[in-house]
C-alpha cells in the first residue's frame, strides 16, 4: 500500500508523517523506517523507528532512490512500513514524470507487504492523475 500526504510547503505534512510513524509502533509488527533528506527530525521520532538520512548516500534521481529502497528491503525482510519525508527533494524529478516510479513502488509494496507513506510537496490543484489514488 502506498499513501501520500500531498500539499504545499508549510501545510503540516512533516508533522503528520512524524506522528504517523510514531503511531505505527502500536500496530506494526515489523520494523519501521523513516527516510528524510537531512537529520532535522531525527529526535522527533521514537527510538524504535529506524531513521535514515538519505543525503548521506548521494541519491540523485528517482531511479537511484528506488534502488536505495530496494537495497534496504533486500537487507531487512522485517520492514513493514517506510515513511518518506521531503520526497521531491530526494528524487529531484518533477512529480508528473514519476508515474513509473510509483507503479514500481506499488508492485514492491504488494510483493513484500510493505506500507509506504510519502510526503509530497506540491500544489494539490496541479497533482497528476496517477497520484490521486494514493492521497490520504
Residue 76 lies in a domain: yes
Angle at 34 between CA 68 and CA 65, to 5 degrees: 20
68 lies in some domain: yes
Note whether residue 136 is domain-resident. no
Q: In sequence order, what E strands does the chain have?
A: 2-7, 31-36, 50-53, 79-84, 115-121
* CATH code of 63's domain: 3.40.50.300
Q: Which residues pair with 6 in a beta bridge?
A: 120
Total count of residues recorded for the chain: 136
- Asked if residue 93 belongs to a domain, the reply is yes
Q: How many domains does the chain have?
A: 1
C-alpha cell at 13: 505534512
> Tens-of-pLDDT digits for all 136 residues of the chain?
999 999 999 999 999 999 999 999 999 999 999 999 999 999 999 999 999 999 999 999 999 999 999 999 999 999 999 999 999 999 999 999 999 999 999 999 999 999 999 999 999 999 999 999 999 9
Q: Which domain holds residue 54?
A: 2-131
Whether residue 38 is contained in a domain is answered as yes
CB atoms near residue 3 (< 10 Å): 14
Amino acid at each position: 500500500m502506498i499513501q501520500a500526504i500531498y500539499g504545499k510547503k508549510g501545510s503540516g505534512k512533516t508533522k503528520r508523517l512524524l506522528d504517523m510513524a510514531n503511531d505505527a509502533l502500536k500496530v506494526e509488527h515489523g520494523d519501521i523506517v523513516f527516510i528524510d533528506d537531512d537529520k532535522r527530525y531525527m529526535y522527533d521520532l521514537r527510538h524504535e523507528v529506524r531513521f535514515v538520512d538519505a543525503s548521506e548516500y548521494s541519491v540523485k534521481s528517482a531511479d537511484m532512490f528506488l534502488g536505495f529502497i530496494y537495497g534496504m528491503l533486500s537487507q531487512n525482510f522485517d520492514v513493514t512500513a517506510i515513511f518518506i519525508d521531503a520526497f521531491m527533494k530526494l528524487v529531484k524529478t518533477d512529480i508528473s514524470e514519476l508515474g513509473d516510479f510509483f507503479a514500481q513502488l506499488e508492485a514492491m509494496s504488494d510483493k513484500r507487504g510493505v506500507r509506504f507513506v510519502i510526503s509530497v510537496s506540491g500544489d494539490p490543484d496541479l497533482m497528476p492523475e496517477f497520484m490521486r489514488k494514493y492521497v490520504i
